[in-house]
A and B are shown apart, each in its own frame.
With several copies, the nearest count.
Chain A
């Protein structure tokens, strides 16, 4: 299977082509389901001026927070960025720009980007600062704002299992934004826990069809927990 074998064996190959000032769409929610090794590689590469589209920006010293350390991120597009002191500092210094986007709108913008839908209407954010400067319109008696889709030069995604063709499955709530990010990258790179052979995944159980995926790399994951709460501690 030469043509459809998307497995690469080095992180350098996985992120080959990433350049300064590109847009990177990243899957993950908090620290759950984040492509740890791909983020580490971007840090190693030292690429600057990145626009990063991701629901959150990690925490100090982990996840996308790592890319703040050398000021690699120019702009974040996120719904919530409150977990990160360095983020706060760079934001207040004016070294970092942030475009706060409602979580559902952010998810839909990624999906629309991947699906060839340039814009859609949503009631979310109408009459709020999010709607400022955006076109609004009434449908059936309700007001909506027009939101444009998002695509990026790269999408970085964390999956559970993938076959060599790029068909991916996600595990539990580590799915989150990952399947959406996967559709919206010109180059989509997926870091996985396990690579299997084509045919091992049941076709109708695949979350991300391989057509969206350009490169797959097997990673190893720390899976840091942001808020450990147990029934004992609750």
Chain B
């Protein structure tokens, strides 16, 4: 069975290690914050200038001056710091953030990613995505393996305008966990009940499958 959005987020959260600084993009990535294992702590960076993002506020806590990069009202966690946008991206660009998790339209075997622009559709802007993929130590792309029409999003070469080149090393989809290296996708894990054949069929770029591919542990 393909994973739900929540399940993808759950699997993403297993990547984090105790003490990691993590930037989560809008959508599935944001959900990962809900599934951080109980025995570890991560600190969330929000690129509008907040390190140590807390939960959403209660009605009483709502403060227009305290928002996240998605422009939602949030709180600051204990031990948070707040800084200006240049400092925030110094942190990101300088490789100090351990993990960035973000969505994508396409990823290819070179680790390039397209996530911000579909020609012919209105261009809203890249926000901080280009900085994030250029800067973070580890980038995890979360997306469905194929689009609504069944077309693979894991390509030999991206067709859409790029967000960054040669930067993606790990992809977590509704079907699989894959590593990107040596110009190929390397299958690491399957979603429970999903066959290697199905993944192969829905992966347009070169896929390498070595040995027995375990199912994801979803506890």
A–B proximity contact (CB within 8 A) = yes
Residues in A lying within 8 Å of B, measured CB to CB: 1-4, 29-33, 55, 78-82, 88, 91-92, 98, 100, 102-108, 110-111, 113-117, 122-130, 143, 160, 163-165, 167, 170-180, 183, 198-199, 203-204, 206-207, 209-212, 223-234
Main secondary structure of the interface of B (DSSP, over half): loop
Given contacts A107-B88, A231-B57, contact A127 B125 (CB under 8 A): no
Number of interface residues of B (CB under 8 A): 75
- Chain B residues with Cβ below 8 Å from A33 are 65
Question: Which residues B71-100 have CB closer than 8 A to chain A?
Answer: 71-74, 76, 78-97
Main secondary structure of the interface of A (DSSP, over half): loop
Given contacts A32-B64, A175-B84, A228-B62, contact A126 B134 (CB under 8 A): yes
- Chain A residues with Cβ below 8 Å from B63 are 172
User: Is B19 part of the binding interface, using a Cβ–Cβ cutoff of 8 Å?
Assistant: yes
Q: For the complex, what is the distance from the CA of A39 to the CA of B165, rounded to whole Å? A: 38
- Chain B residues with Cβ below 8 Å from A108 are 86, 89-90
The answer to whether A198 and B89 have CB atoms under 8 Å apart is: no
Q: For the complex, what is the distance from the CA of A4 to the CA of B19, rounded to whole Å? A: 5
Q: For the complex, what is the distance from the CA of A155 to the CA of B198, rounded to whole Å? A: 50
User: Is B205 part of the binding interface, using a Cβ–Cβ cutoff of 8 Å?
Assistant: no
- Chain B residues with Cβ below 8 Å from A170 are 84
Interchain residue pairs A-B with the least CB separation, the first 5: A104-B89, A198-B79, A82-B124, A3-B19, A104-B131
Q: For the complex, what is the distance from the CA of A111 to the CA of B93, rounded to whole Å? A: 12
Checking B62, B64, B91, B128 against A79 with a beta-carbon cut-off of 8 angstroms, the contacting residue is: B128
The answer to whether B131 and A172 have CB atoms under 8 Å apart is: no
- Chain B residues with Cβ below 8 Å from A114 are 90, 94, 96
Q: For the complex, what is the distance from the CA of A146 to the CA of B112, rounded to whole Å? A: 20
The answer to whether A234 and B56 have CB atoms under 8 Å apart is: yes
- Chain A residues with Cβ below 8 Å from B80 are 203
Checking B91, B127, B128 against A211 with a beta-carbon cut-off of 8 angstroms, the contacting residue is: B91
The answer to whether A127 and B48 have CB atoms under 8 Å apart is: no
- Chain A residues with Cβ below 8 Å from B96 are 114, 183, 211-212
Q: For the complex, what is the distance from the CA of A40 to the CA of B161, rounded to whole Å? A: 37
The answer to whether B73 and A103 have CB atoms under 8 Å apart is: no
Closest to A108 in B: B86
Q: For the complex, what is the distance from the CA of A5 to the CA of B74, rounded to whole Å? A: 24
The answer to whether B164 and A127 have CB atoms under 8 Å apart is: yes
User: Is B66 part of the binding interface, using a Cβ–Cβ cutoff of 8 Å?
Assistant: yes
- Chain A residues with Cβ below 8 Å from B112 are 127
Closest to B66 in A: A172
Checking B67, B92, B123 against A226 with a beta-carbon cut-off of 8 angstroms, the contacting residue is: B67
Q: Given A111-B90, A173-B82, list of 4 further CB < 8 A pairs?
A: A4-B43, A29-B49, A104-B92, A210-B51
Q: For the complex, what is the distance from the CA of A78 to the CA of B127, rounded to whole Å? A: 8
- Chain B residues with Cβ below 8 Å from A98 are 123
The answer to whether B51 and A103 have CB atoms under 8 Å apart is: no
- Chain A residues with Cβ below 8 Å from B129 are 102
Checking A164, A180, A211, A228 against B45 with a beta-carbon cut-off of 8 angstroms, the contacting residue is: A211
Residues in B lying within 8 Å of A, measured CB to CB: 17-21, 40-43, 45-52, 55-59, 62-68, 70-74, 76, 78-97, 112, 117, 122-131, 134-135, 161-166
Q: For the complex, what is the distance from the CA of A204 to the CA of B66, rounded to whole Å? A: 11
Q: For the complex, what is the distance from the CA of A204 to the CA of B130, rounded to whole Å? A: 26
The answer to whether A203 and B76 have CB atoms under 8 Å apart is: yes
Q: For the complex, what is the distance from the CA of A125 to the CA of B129, rounded to whole Å? A: 10
Given contacts A108-B89, A225-B64, A230-B62, contact A172 B78 (CB under 8 A): no
Q: For the complex, what is the distance from the CA of A231 to the CA of B124, rounded to whole Å? A: 28
Closest to A115 in B: B90
- Chain B residues with Cβ below 8 Å from A209 are 51, 81, 83, 87, 91
The 17 sampled A-B contact pairs (Cβ below 8 Å) are A1-B41, A4-B41, A92-B122, A98-B123, A100-B123, A104-B86, A104-B92, A107-B84, A108-B90, A123-B93, A172-B66, A177-B85, A179-B86, A199-B78, A204-B83, A227-B73, A234-B56
Residue among B40, B82, B123, B128 with most chain A CB within 10 A: B82
